[in-house]
Amino acid sequence: MSTLSHQLNLPSYLDANKLGAWDMYLQQVERVTPYLGTLARWVDTLKRPKRMLIVDVPIHLDDGSIAHFEGYRVQHNLSRGPGKGGVRFHQDVTLSEVMALSAWMSVKNAAVNVPFGGAKGGIRLNPHHYSKGELERITRRYTSEIGIIIGPSKDIPAPDVNTNEQVMAWMMDTYSMNQGGTATGVVTGKPVDLGGSLGRREATGRGVFTVGVEAAQHMGLSIQGARLAVQGLGNVGGTAAKLFGEAGALLIAAQDHGGAVLKDTGLDIPALLAHVAAHGTVADFAGGDPIDPDNFWDVNCDILIPAALEGQITADNANRIQAKLILEGANGPTTPQADDILGDKGVVIVPDVIANAGGVTVSYFEWVQDFSSFFWSEDEINARLVRIMREAFDTVWQTAKTQGTTLRTATFIVACTRILNAREQRGLYP
């Protein structure tokens, strides 16, 4: 049994030997604890989610049969404000994964200093196996089941893996019907016609690009002509690739669940993104040479963006990576062991909790706009996003320099200090 997992006194239904992402998070907390000073007395607050809800989601399938799905909503920490975090639909979703993702949301929100705590949700299913009508019924039943703990001032869900604006519209409508009045602020990432924010769809990828440019400048790495490799060409990886391409970088390799392609002189990014939109994968893209997906990690590049799922960069492939700069577009893509290997090689890693915080930052803008019923232009939103991301990154960079740590530990120092300061100032009730 993992020592860190055992310290949490986990409930019997959690297998402490299969905690995965949650154990990664606990190791990250252990690494930051020596830098917390007197606030370290509160550090167990970070190791124990405030609230975990497991729900049964039964629906009628199109063929008339009844199916049951398991859903989760975890609120990790609410000291700095209402919970904030996405909902994912995926066949491998587990409670321990959602716990980790909610904890990383606590850190992420504090790192960019938006007034939210951390939360996350998920339903264990492969959405590609169900019709639109079935997905709507699953979403609405799940929303009703977790309705007791969400709300505009309690916990605000958002899109995540395999969820989108339509899913958020269903969630908003279901919550509103149960409340007896329209509550646009209960979710973010909604369609613009329902109170969504301009710029939200590209916000996470734009944030990755923004901090990537800042990191490259600090490193003396020119974006013009930089060789880029991206894992995952969805909203995050695709947007980041597009923006880096417009800034003069060359996308030489792309990989996802379906395959990988390589072109040493640079892939045609708009054509590749159009192919992914049409086929759901980079596989069979005519403008590049197919390679074994595992060989993606051997590509000679300057900047690597893992923008798929957690646990992609491990002790098994870290030594093969040739990038100078890694921008974590996904949540938890690098294990602590891989972190150490890459650090010893001199690779700069901009961690997920700062690199992909653009999405939650614009979600904050959407939440504010919904409360005021006054909406900003896309240029205003992008300018505010860039300013916040730059300020947050500069704070992390200076902290890393002062403390002599990696950017990941520095981000945790900044974020955990803010969270635990709030916890200490609020005190314990009763």
- Active-site positions read 120
Cα 340 versus chain centre, distance: 22
Q: List, in order, residues 6 or more apart from 18 with CB less than 8 Å away.
A: 94, 96
Cβ distance 367 to 82 under 8 Å? no
Maximal CA-CA distance, the chain: 64
d(CA 415, CA 328): 17
d(CA 188, CA 168): 7
Residue 137's nearest CA partner among 193, 59, 25 is 59
Which two three-digit tokens encode residue 83?
Answer: 């919970």
Return the axis-axis angle of helices 165-179 and 132-146, rounded to nearest 10°: 50
In degrees rounded to 5, what are phi and psi of residue 260?
-150, 150
Strands 348-350 and 325-327 come out as parallel
**By CB neighbour count within 10 A (0-12 exposed, 13-18 middle, 19+ buried), where does 110 fall?**
buried
In degrees rounded to 5, what are phi and psi of residue 181?
-170, 150
- Segment holding 98, helix H or strand E: helix 95-111
d(CA 80, CA 114): 9
**By CB neighbour count within 10 A (0-12 exposed, 13-18 middle, 19+ buried), where does 126 fall?**
exposed
How many CA atoms within 13 Å lie on the side-chain side of 216?
A: 23
Q: Tokens 């939650």 identify what position?
A: 360
Cβ distance 207 to 389 under 8 Å? yes
